[in-house]
Chain A
Amino acid sequence: MTFTSFNFLIFFPVVVILYNIVPAKWRIWFLLVASYFFYMNLQPVYALLLVAVTGFTYFSTRSIDMSDKEKTKKRMMRWGIILVLLPLLFFKYFAFINNAISDALVSSGLSLGLPKIELLLPVGISFYTFMAIGYIIDVYNEEVECEKNIASVGLFLSFFPLVLSGPIERAGNMFPQFAKMQSSKYSDLVKGAKLMMWGYFMKLCVADRLGIYVDAVFNNIANHNGTTLAFASVLYPFQVYADLGGYSLIAMGVARCLGFAVIPNFRRPFFATSMSEFWRRWHMSLIQWLTDYIYTPLSFILRGWKIWGIVAALMLTFLISGIWHGAALTFIVWGLVQGVYLSIEAMMQGKRSKFEKKHGLGEKWWYKLVCCIVVFVLFAFSQIFGRCANLQDASDVIGKIFMQHGPLFLDVTTLGYALTCLAILFIIDFRDEFLPNRFRLFESRYIVVRWLSYVAVIMLILSFGVLDSGQFIYFQF
């Protein structure tokens, strides 16, 4: 069961109704059972991993909490993190490391016949592992209180709106809400339904439509020229934004319908005028996590190196981000490219500010537009590594984009639907960015406008959406 499956449209209202009927003290258990039911519907066996990670997290945080000695606390934190990380390392990186070692041995004339284990990656493991690590560190740093109720910890890691693809939530935000377990309010239900509706539009009408074209091109690189590959590379960031952004909105909406406020994941990233701003708007929950637990401690440790300390911290943080995204060289390169962009920007920040001030560029619309385009092009370029199966494919794509021009491959109806929906998304994002209190539709004062907007979006989803499509891109992570 995924958010776009029809089963979910039955499961979800039933859960909302039962949640509001069940007595408050049992709600946490009810949501825990519902979350495991949801997860097991996708991968029953891997629910055991979720149980194990919950167990490691609970016992390590309790041990940290109960211990008086700093040394013991630290040891328990380290063990907790190692135990929580083990399943992720094994399932996500074993095959990659194994193959890399085997290839290295073969190329040096040795062959030890290392065992090959091909395992299906447990859905959501990267997300709930990071949430668990964040919680353990927060307890160690005494930023959140240790949760004594194991059901709360279990629900935190398996909460069905978040378990598959985030947002990567924080214990500090979720545990106080779990403690209250308030019933849904009318305003929550309306707000949640609106978020879900727009999330479905982004996913089904924009991401999956663009995906048809992008997949057709990137799955057949050899048969497409540079013009087509460049066009598909431009569309791919929009696809990912609509895919994960749409998923995140659905997750936020589902949680909101149950009375929970979940952190947002995207804030109109393509209006960013610098790479650092872009990363404060794109996959915000992951970036905030990386900032808090990797970048900030690293830059503190390396503060003696001055600007080079920041560069090193940025490079390492985004290298880890790349590795988190996938066990492949393409993701490592993707992460390093982001690190390079941000490092260059950090080193030039002073000069850029002076230049903007001197020429009064800060408020000029055309300057902002140029900056947005530059940021987009840089990001789209880096995403080629994220989209291609291997480095050879990525270098073929880049080579063709620069060297092999030709007629554009056009799939008129697919692109027609995709670009129409993308234009609608862009207009709404533009309004939210620059005219936040004008031309309201879902939030209009007039009920006619609100209801017509709801009907229009549902009509768009039903007539333009890809309703036979499969999964969300971030399920693979």
Chain B
Amino acid sequence: MTKSDMKKILIKGLLFVALFFIVDRVSGYVFYFLEHKALQHSPNGMITEYTMEEVDSDVIIMGASDALHSYVSSIIEDSLGMSTYNCGKDGMRFYYQNAMVNGILDRYSPKLIIWSVSPVFLSAPSQEDRDAISDLNPWYRTNEFCRNAILMKSEFEYIKMMSYLYAFNSRLYAYLYKCVMPDYSYQPGGYAPVYGNLPDSKMEVRDYYDEDGLDEKSSKVLLSTLKRCRDAGTDVAFVLTPRYESGEYESISQYTELIDICEEYDAEIITDLFRDKDLLKPCYFKDAAHVNHDGAVLFTEKLVGELKALF
């Protein structure tokens, strides 16, 4: 390669980087604008954005799809007399949920957080779980908890996150769609019912011992979040949400650690609905991991009874 070639590459390369930098920044502003437009038009369909920026309810339901489809916000609201919002989101696990809770605490202190969990809540995150954290990308620059979660994805994530286009990857159509079409799959309060039920079938036996073990980092992160909740005067109730399955879980490390953490920080953990005999019927389940609307109503009514006794 000649010297003039090298000079040409250097000059053109720098110019190209400068051009891309400008385009990237402008795109970032456009994405932020679209995000706010979409949020105004369809708050329920923009769960992450709504949770991070707008929710102000007394009771917050946090979790993954099991939370979203199992906790009927209106029943809790009517029974406890407190405004309730279901912030559950499909496929989002512990680190996402933790960032959401901290994002809420940055803005205000809810009275109660109902945190839907499974016995393996504190397991090591899978690659899919890490990938799902991308939902937090828009808050990388503004929220410490989101940033910490995002940086777990890979060792080079901090370089990738320099680009706004990368941060808003796969969001354009979602924002445009939400700007045009309101999301009808949600009820007021963020609850999203699912319908249909399992055929009469034998209950699946799940071997919890065969799964990934306790993730110590998760338990440390949870401890600091619970401390923050305690300092903010926010009560936390973990709830083992019912699943149509059986299997021994009481002595797995993830579960015993969760119990210990709850004891340490005076957080409640409601476990008896997990294997409630009235609920564990195929007619109440859409699939093994999710109750249907009828199941959600029955489960929420039972849960409210327990919550009233506790708080």
Contacts and interface: CB of A to CB of B under 8 A. Distances in A.
A467 interface: yes
**Pairs of residues from A and B, 5 with the lowest C-beta to C-beta distance, nearest first:** A462-B165, A186-B5, A468-B131, A6-B156, A416-B173
B19 A451 contact: yes
Contacts of A459: 23, 27, 165
11 contacts: A412-B173, A413-B173, A413-B174, A417-B170, A454-B16, A458-B20, A459-B23, A462-B165, A466-B170, A467-B166, A467-B169
B168 interface: yes
Contacts of B83: none
A412 B165 contact: no
A455 B165 contact: no
Contacts of B153: 468
B84 to A, nearest CB: 28
Contact of B9 (A186, A412, A451, A454): A186
Q: Is the interface of B mostly helix, strand, loop or mixed?
A: helix
Contacts of B5: 185-186
B174 A455 contact: no
B1 A184 contact: yes
B22 to A, nearest CB: 9
B25 to A, nearest CB: 12
A464 B171 CA distance: 8
B29 to A, nearest CB: 14
A462 B31 CA distance: 13
B160 A6 contact: yes
Instruction: Give the interface centre of B134, B153, B172, B177 by most chain A CB atoms within 10 Å.
Output: B172
A463 B168 contact: yes
Interface string A440-477: 00000000000100110011001111111000000000
Given A459-B23, A462-B166, 8 more contacts: A6-B160, A183-B1, A413-B173, A413-B174, A455-B19, A462-B165, A463-B27, A464-B172
Contacts of A465: 169
B1 A462 contact: no
Contacts of A412: 173, 177
A22 to B, nearest CB: 12
Interface in B13-71: 16, 19-20, 23, 27
B253 interface: no
Contacts of B141: none
A454 B17 CA distance: 11
Interface residues of B, number: 27
Contacts of A183: 1
Given A6-B160, A467-B169, A455 B9 contact: no
A465 B166 CA distance: 9
B1 A185 contact: yes
Interface string B152-189: 01101001100101101111111001000000000000
Contacts of A463: 27, 165, 168-172
Contacts of B170: 413, 417, 463-464, 466
A189 interface: yes
B8 interface: yes
Interface string A401-442: 000000000001100110000000000000000000000000
A413 B174 CA distance: 6
A455 B20 contact: yes
Interface string B138-157: 00000000000000011010
A20 B1 contact: yes
A6 B159 CA distance: 10
A372 to B, nearest CB: 29
B144 to A, nearest CB: 23
Contacts of B177: 412-413, 416
Nearest to A413: B173
Nearest to A10: B156
A185 B134 CA distance: 39
Contacts of B165: 459, 462-463
A458 B27 CA distance: 12
A467 B150 CA distance: 14
A284 B287 CA distance: 46
A6 B172 contact: no
Nearest to B134: A468
A468 B131 CA distance: 6
Interface string A80-102: 00000000000000000000000
A462 B28 CA distance: 12
Instruction: Give the interface centre of B5, B156, B163, B168 by most chain A CB atoms within 10 Å.
Output: B5
Nearest to A189: B9
A10 to B, nearest CB: 8
A14 to B, nearest CB: 15
Nearest to A420: B173
B299 to A, nearest CB: 25
Given A455-B23, A458-B20, A468-B134, A417 B169 contact: no
B1 A186 contact: yes
B180 to A, nearest CB: 11
Contacts of A20: 1
A20 B5 CA distance: 12
Contact of B8 (A186, A413, A416, A468): A186
Contacts of B169: 462-465, 467
A183 B169 CA distance: 37
Contacts of B8: 186
Contacts of A7: 156
A7 B1 CA distance: 25
A450 to B, nearest CB: 11
